[in-house]
Amino acid sequence: MILKHDGYIAEMSYEEGDASMNGVVVNARATLHFAGRDIEELRRAFAETIADYREWCEERGVEPEKPYSGTLSLRIAPELHRRIAERAAKAGESINQFIANRLEDVA
**In this structure, are 44 and 22 located in the same domain?**
yes
**In this structure, are 52 and 78 located in the same domain?**
no
- Its domain, for residue 87, covers 72-107
Give rounded-to-5 percent helix, strand, coil for the chain.
45, 20, 35
**In this structure, are 56 and 25 located in the same domain?**
yes
**In this structure, are 56 and 6 located in the same domain?**
yes
Give the pLDDT confidence score for residue 29 in this predicted structure: 79
> Does 53 reside within a domain?
yes
- Maximum separation of any 2 CA atoms in the chain, in Å: 56
Give the pLDDT confidence score for residue 19 in this predicted structure: 81
**In this structure, are 42 and 18 located in the same domain?**
yes
Name the domain count of the chain: 2
The DSSP H or E segment spanning 4 is: strand 2-5
> Does 51 reside within a domain?
yes
Residues 6+ apart with CB under 8 A from 51: none
Q: What is the pLDDT along the chain (107 residues), one digit of tens a residue?
A: 889 999 899 999 887 777 889 999 988 878 999 999 999 999 999 999 999 999 999 999 998 887 766 677 888 999 999 999 999 999 999 898 999 899 988 87
**In this structure, are 24 and 51 located in the same domain?**
yes
> Does 102 reside within a domain?
yes
For residues 51 and 43, what is the distance between their CA atoms, to the nearest angstrom?
12
For residues 64 and 102, what is the distance between their CA atoms, to the nearest angstrom?
31
Give the pLDDT confidence score for residue 15 in this predicted structure: 77
> Does 67 reside within a domain?
no
Please give the single-letter amino acid code of residue 18. Answer: D
> Does 81 reside within a domain?
yes
Give the pLDDT confidence score for residue 69 in this predicted structure: 65
Task: Please state the pTM of the whole predicted model.
Answer: 0.62
Q: Cα angle at 80 between 79 and 83, to 5 degrees?
A: 90
